A and B are shown apart, each in its own frame.
Chain A
Amino acid sequence: MAEWGGHMNLVAEPRGELLIVRALEDRIDAAGAIQFKDRMRLLVQHPAQRVLLDLSRVRFLDSSGLGAVVAVMKLMGPDRRLELAGLTPAVDKVFRLTRMDSVFTIHASLPDGLRDAG
């Protein structure tokens, strides 16, 4: 039970008008959805107009995780954008099946020049 209520590893990096948030977790599921939302709520207080969420490390996302991503977009308000990048096949499938792929701008990978040098 040590992980319960634990840390959700999200790392933010401002790039001009853009805030890149990297999800360094292998899953965003029912056990972590609240922590994800709470941590994102803090990170998106940065005034960037666009927030790009890099999901390339996330191997599994369930409907609670999807709901949390939607909730983050809503709490950013109508004038700012949450974009997604690097969806792995299982995560991409959840977005497609629920048609949430039509709601978000989804990049195949982080745009050139924004990739992690490591």
Chain B
Amino acid sequence: MRAEGTARITLPGDPLAVRDGLRQLFTMRALRHLTEDERGTAELVLAEALNNIVEHAYARAPGEIDLWLHLTGTGMLCRITDRGAPMPAGTLPPGLPPCIGKGADLPEGGFGWYLIRTLARDLDYRRIADRNELSFRLDVQQSAP
């Protein structure tokens, strides 16, 4: 038996709200029984996606982020909605592996989409009216308690 469950939170688009929202999310009943590794992966992908919204979609004007997660026997479906600026060119960044140079050339950013693309599956982005909708699936195999 695997547990099914849904979790939904709405949070303001700022970095501390993202931190608090993630903390709140993983204490919710639907997500309480993830293994440490699953939780780490889910928290990382969600943090990268949410921080991206804070830094880019809501760079000019603040707004709210709606996060919906649905856990099934085969994984975790995640859908994140915001009302900020659309993705440039209407599409997700390629998220290429960061180019590791030496010394002063080492990259300090550009890892976010690479991590999302590495860890998430079925990544999909849509602009619907004034909303951005990002959805993906995470391979977590939650066991029933």
Which residues of A line the B interface, CB within 8 A?
A: 1, 3-4, 27, 29-32, 60, 62-64, 66-68, 70-71, 73-74, 78, 89-90, 93-94, 97-100, 102-103
Contact = CB atoms under 8 A, between A and B. Distances in A.
Interface of B: 15-16, 18-19, 36-37, 40-41, 43-44, 47-48, 51, 54-55, 97-98, 100, 103-104, 106-109, 111-112, 114-115, 118-119
Contact of B37 (A1, A63, A67, A89): A89
20 contacts: A4-B15, A29-B18, A29-B47, A30-B15, A30-B47, A31-B15, A60-B40, A62-B47, A62-B51, A62-B112, A63-B48, A63-B51, A63-B115, A67-B108, A68-B108, A70-B107, A89-B36, A94-B44, A98-B111, A100-B100
Given A1-B16, A94-B44, 4 more contacts: A30-B51, A67-B107, A70-B107, A89-B40
